[in-house]
Homo-oligomer: A and B are copies of this chain.
Amino acid sequence: MAKSFKHLRDKMPLDSQAAASNKAKALMAEMPLSELRLARKLSQAQLAEKMHVNQAAISKMERRTDMYVSTLREAIKAMGGELEIQAKFPDGSVSITQFHDIRGNSGS
């Protein structure tokens, strides 16, 4: 039975495996909200409907270089995703949880 791949992986040092994993993470797609919307196959009008705003508001949002975390969370949620905010340090990453469930709390 062919086992050349297993053999190769077996010979790969652990730190190289970690480096390969980090490289994969570094290659994660990076894009602004407008490109993300297109990647999710949504028009501005469709996203506007999901966010209960008009198309002009989406157009304006996509040109912003700053916005409230809650607005960003709503936009990503409307595209079917989940917002995660990370603080990256040389010695590790931390997920910031301060802004979770904003709408969930304010509605009740």
Contacts and interface: CB of A to CB of B under 8 A. Distances in A.
Interface residues of A, number: 44
Interface in A1-48: 6, 9-10, 21, 28-33, 36, 39-40
Contacts of A85: 72, 83-86
Contacts of A86: 28, 83-86
A105 interface: yes
Given A82-B87, A87-B76, A97 B66 contact: no
A29 B98 contact: no
Interface of A: 6, 9-10, 21, 28-33, 36, 39-40, 62, 64-70, 72, 76, 79-89, 92-99, 102, 105
